[in-house]
Amino acid sequence: MERSTTRTSLPEALLLQLSAYLEILLRWNARTNLTSIRTPEEIVTRHFGESLFAAQKLFPDDSEAGKSALADVGSGAGFPGLPIKLWAQLNNPQLHVTLIESHQKKGIFLREVIRALALTDIEVEATRAEQISKTFDIVTLRAVEHFDQILPTAANLVRTAGSLALLIGQDQIAIAQTLLPAFQWDKPHAIPNSTNRVLLIGTAPQESS
């Protein structure tokens, strides 16, 4: 894995883990439909690139060291949750990641990657997001069907003053802002190597005193 969507060089240890992840993904994708994007180059640019871009925005240096729990809703093949976990090991190793994925085969795949990379403080919740009762400092959501239906569910998993990070198309920005007017939305971050995709981060409202 040599390409990156940012100008920041990735440490060798991280590159080795990402390469191992990619190898497992390609092997699985040859026999089951984990992702419709099938060439290594496109997977690196679209899936890994977007995920690492989000990771760098969510965890710049050590400024988010206090963020200790992240949930990835509809994790699928692990994006963006798994690359975010790998990135966070550099400066936020205590981050606990929960990959929420109700599809059985995808859940098995995620557990294989976790085992192969010897990752700790990460788990797979093989259930629908609506069944999760915990809340998290950060919740991520990317490339899911029925975006307008799942978005409120994802928002309910965000703790007070926590962050909701959405990897979405530009046409979905207004939907997010309309459905979640109480969230304080940052200016969208344009995703490198993409014509219309953005990272949109919102902060959950404070509880009323």
Backbone torsion region of residue 155, taken as left when φ is above 0, otherwise alpha when ψ lies between -120 and 50, otherwise beta: alpha
- Confidence at residue 2, expressed as pLDDT on a 0 to 100 scale: 42
Nearest alpha-carbon partner for 141 in 180, 114, 86, 108: 180
- What are the per-10-residue average pLDDT scores of the chain (209 residues)? 51 95 96 87 94 94 70 97 94 92 96 97 97 97 88 97 97 96 98 94 84
The Cα 114–Cα 65 span in angstroms is: 22
∠ at Cα 135 (165, 80), nearest 5°? 35
Tell me the HSE value of 15 on the side-chain side, using a 13 A CA sphere.
Answer: 9
Residue 160 is inside which H or E element, if any? strand 158-169
pLDDT in tens, 99-133: 999 999 999 999 999 999 999 999 999 999 999 99
∠ at Cα 68 (186, 85), nearest 5°? 80
- Confidence at residue 4, expressed as pLDDT on a 0 to 100 scale: 40
pLDDT in tens, 48-69: 999 999 999 998 875 555 669 9
What does pTM read for this prediction?
0.92
Instruction: Domains for the chain: give ranges and CATH numbers.
Output: 12-203 (3.40.50.150)
